[in-house]
Amino acid sequence: AQRVTQPEKLLSVFKGAPVELKCNYSYSGSPELFWYVQYSRQRLQLLLRHISRESIKGFTADLNKGETSFHLKKPFAQEEDSAMYYCALLTGGGNKLTFGTGTQLKVEL
């Protein structure tokens, strides 16, 4: 079955601390993965995709096929990083996105 798992509903860290938002996937083919973010009172938006191998707002995510993971990381959390983060997998033969249940990141001062 094609599935995205985000084990943490809420992650609370202090400002300046490292952040790791976990995402694991189940997919039989070659996976394409994404991270979406929703800030308070804003709409859902794409943060990054694994094939771009880029760093956005200090966040990076590496696809680990052996562990079937795509964890989102940032070395030093900022207050403005507080948001809901969703991991998503391209499924259905590339015709749709399957989303995880999301992790609420709270950065405390």
Partner 1 sequence: SAVISQKPSRDICQRGTSLTIQCQVDSQVTMMFWYRQQPGQSLTLIATANQGSEATYESGFVIDKFPISRPNLTFSTLTVSNMSPEDSSIYLCSAGTSVETQYFGPGTRLLVL
**What is the contact surface with partner 1 in residues (CB under 8 A)?**
32, 34, 43-46, 49, 86, 90, 94-102
Are the C-beta atoms of 46 and 72 separated by less than 8 Å?
no
Residue (26 or 78) nearer to partner 1, CB? 26
* Closest separation in Å from C-beta 96 to partner 1: 5
* Closest separation in Å from C-beta 102 to partner 1: 6
Are the C-beta atoms of 12 and 1 separated by less than 8 Å?
no
Q: How far apart are CA 20 and CA 89, in angstroms?
A: 18
Residue (73 or 99) nearer to partner 1, CB? 99
* Closest separation in Å from C-beta 67 to partner 1: 21
Residue (66 or 93) nearer to partner 1, CB? 93
CB-based contacts of 30, cutoff 8 Å, min separation 6 = none
* Closest separation in Å from C-beta 63 to partner 1: 15
Q: What is the dihedral of CA 20, 8, 3, 28, to 10 degrees?
A: 40
